[in-house]
Structure 1
Amino acid sequence: MNTQENEVVHFTVPTRDEVSENNQGIFYMMTKNFGKVPNLYATFAYNETALGDYLTLQNRKSTLTAKEREIINLVVSQVNDCKYCVPAHTFISKMHGFSDEQIIEIRRAQISFDTKYDALSKFVKEVAINRGRPSEKVLTTLFNAGYNKANLVDIIMVVGDKIISNYFHNITQIPVDWPEVPSL
């Protein structure tokens, strides 16, 4: 992608025919399993290995539940103002049983319906805002809510995963292919 000085870099979503053979196989599996290749995933395929690497990170074994991972995804995406990931994880969170009202609370990190989830959301928000330097209070609250050191490792892994995708979209600005969500 050569650009002239002062020329704006524009990203498009690569098609199956524009990516490597390895990524074409991943596109095939995603289409087979989900009916589509989400635009952000497709954009990772500009690189030979990044899409597969990212999927490996996302699908690693975890001590956290799917709901807990979605709380982290929503909070970090909201902090980073990711116009792609907030709608994507709103959609996924609904599939995991969260209501529209609960999702708004999660995005604000002010959860009234579950004290353990609330401790998680507040910890994650501080981690994201303070670049990995939460207050002792939210860390203590997280552990008092029932999380342990193994959970802490997994929480940070999910935060890191989400920072990757948030920053990637914030830079590429590829089209959002998820239903719109209300802004906070």
Structure 2
Amino acid sequence: MAEFTVYDETDAPEQARPHLEAAKKRMGFVTTLNGVMAESPELLAGYNTLSELFGRSSLPRDAKHVVWITASVLNGCEYCVAAHSTLALRQRVPAGVVDALRAGHALDDPALEAARRFTGAMVTRRGWVDDEEIEAFLDAGYTRRHVLDIVLGIGMKTLSNYTNHIAHTPLDPAWKEQEWTAPGPDLT
């Protein structure tokens, strides 16, 4: 197994240190994900920039959490499911919503379910969704901008999910309570 170093703001490559310091200010600690990404300062900068941009996107707050968790579940990223479950619960996303997302189950809220279904279709079909799926998402009250915001969120999760797969990123203690195990290698 290839071993990846988990850096912090004191021992990371010089170009990565400002990004780790900013992450520490934002989160209160340097996540092991950011520590692994620091090996490539460009990946770290790209991920953190996408994260910031998606956070500012036009999607409603709870729909953003739906995108993060749904993409991570479908990609089998144990680290990201635990992290985003914790963050969703801290932002008062209902526990029933988080539990359903982690299990890949339908949501009772029609708007959030539309976001879950559309995100799931985008991830499993690698963006090749048909017009009917886009229309169903729009009919749930979303806009074309929201369609593209979901593309941004999935892009962000692809960077972190794939990094965690190859690096076997250790779970941060902050996410431990929401630890999650992928059901298997074929999640589609």
- TM-score tier by shorter-chain length is 0.7 to 0.9
1 or 2, which has the higher helix percentage?
A: 2
Which deviates more, 49-58 or 164-173? 49-58
- Residues matched between the structures, number: 176
Letter paired with 2:106 = Q
**Among 119, 124, 137, the residue aligned to 1:124:** 119
- TM-score scaled by structure 1? 0.87
Q: Which residue in 2 is equivalent to 1:12?
A: 5
- Percent identity between the aligned chains? 24
* Cα distance in 1, alignment partners of residues 31 and 8 from structure 2: 11
**Among 148, 156, 160, the residue aligned to 1:153:** 148
Q: Which residue in 1 is equivalent to 2:76?
A: 81
Letter paired with 2:50 = L
Q: Given the superposition, is the C-alpha separation of residues 126 and 174 from structure 1 closer, same or farther in structure 2, using an over 3 Å criterion?
A: same
* Cα distance in 2, alignment partners of residues 31 and 16 from structure 1: 8
Q: Which runs of 5+ in 1 are unaligned?
A: 1-7
RMSD: 1.8
* Cα distance in 2, alignment partners of residues 33 and 160 from structure 1: 21
4+ residue runs over 6 A deviation: none
- TM-score scaled by structure 2? 0.85
Larger Rg: 1
Which deviates more, 48-57 or 165-174? 48-57
After superposition, give the CA deviation of every residue in 1:11-51 in whole Å (9 maximum; x if it has no partner). Answer: 23123333233422222232233221111011111013221
1:37 aligns with 2:33: no
Q: Which residue in 1 is equivalent to 2:100?
A: 105
* Cα distance in 1, alignment partners of residues 105 and 138 from structure 2: 17
Letter paired with 1:26 = H
Equivalent residues of 2:78, 2:179 under 8 A apart: no
Equivalent residues of 2:72, 2:80 under 8 A apart: yes
Q: Which residue in 2 is equivalent to 1:3?
A: none
Which deviates more, 37-46 or 14-23? 14-23
* Cα distance in 2, alignment partners of residues 174 and 80 from structure 1: 15
Letter paired with 1:47 = S
